[in-house]
Amino acid sequence: MAKSLKNLTTILLLLFLAPIIIATIQTPLVTQQTEEIKKEDKPIVYAAQLDSKADVTEIVEPKKAYVYFTHSHEAFLPILAASEEKISVYHPVNNITSFQDQIAAQFAFHQVETEFLEKDSTKEMDDYHTIRPFVQDALAHSEYDIVFDIHRDSAKANVTTLQSGNESYAKFIFVIGGEHPNYRWNEQLANNLSDQLNKLVPGISRGILVKSGKGVDGVYNQDLAKNLLVVELGGIDNTEQEINRSIAILAKAVSNMFHQQIAS
């Protein structure tokens, strides 16, 4: 009888303790599963988000350039030869304005928006005096960070071509009219850009040419804006590839100059 009572007591005790034992065993598993779920729900935090000194790409408002071609018919002999045109230093279609799309694309790549003077074919605008009112009107209605009047030099290949490594480039030269009161502003900007060009490809800029006196314009419409630059891009012997390479360098140099101004 005593043995039966003892067995009954043991069974009752086990029944009483069973829920507690089961709860004790299961609790760590539940807790572990909950922690794993929480870990999965937690967003991933990258190191850059934790480091207050991490570099952050600054979104800079694009700069604006205005571009026109006073002597729009200036042509390049190798380009005319390649298209089987009559060899001439001037052409109504295959001329320096053919590079307008390349200029726009390269400048846009470096966050510089470009607007061009759309010439009216019914009006003759191939000298500084006739083109002046159109440039003046454009500058009166919009603000630009830089203005380019792009030309082709009349010099030969030995002056206008640079061999750098395995590539050849059309050289630049900046022309400054020294016969207006504020020409030093234009000259300083030209010097800055010339330096940026030569940092990228040493020797690609031939520097600055200040012109004044009898037989030259002496102003080149640069009195309209302190940031208006007359630039000669290559010469009559430069190829399309050389000019395209130089346009890419010009776009990068302009961008670098703007970023340098922001930093200072």
pLDDT digits (tens, 9 = 90+) for 12-28: 555 555 555 444 444 44
Of the candidates 231, 217, 236, which has an alpha carbon nearest to the alpha carbon of residue 76? Answer: 236
3 state SS of 138? helix
Spatial contact of 128 and 70, defined as CB atoms under 8 Å apart: yes
In sequence order, what are the residues at sequence separation of 6 or more whose Cβ sits closer than 8 angstroms to the Cβ of residue 6?
A: none
Spatial contact of 136 and 216, defined as CB atoms under 8 Å apart: no
pLDDT of residue 33: 44
pLDDT of residue 174: 98
Query: pLDDT above 90 covers what percent of the chain?
Result: 69
Higher-confidence residue of 168 and 35: namely: 168
Residue 48 amino acid letter: A
User: Is residue 37 scored above 60 in pLDDT?
Assistant: no
pLDDT of residue 36: 44
Q: Which residue has the tokens 């630049």?
A: 172
What are the tens digits of pLDDT across the range 203-261?
A: 999 999 999 999 999 999 999 999 999 999 999 999 999 999 999 999 999 999 998 87
Q: Which residue has the tokens 């009107």?
A: 137
Query: What is the Cβ-side half-sphere exposure of residue 10, based on CA atoms within 13 angstroms?
Result: 6
Average pLDDT, the chain: 83
pLDDT of residue 85: 84
Higher-confidence residue of 224 and 39: namely: 224
Alpha-carbon gap, residue 143 to 43, rounded angstroms: 45
Phi/psi for 251 (5° steps) reads -60, -45
pLDDT of residue 223: 98
pLDDT of residue 199: 98
What are the tens digits of pLDDT across the range 116-129?
A: 998 765 566 789 99
pLDDT of residue 11: 55
The CA radius of gyration of the chain, in Å to the nearest whole number, is 36
Tokens matching residue 184: 């030093």
User: Is residue 51 scored above 70 in pLDDT?
Assistant: no
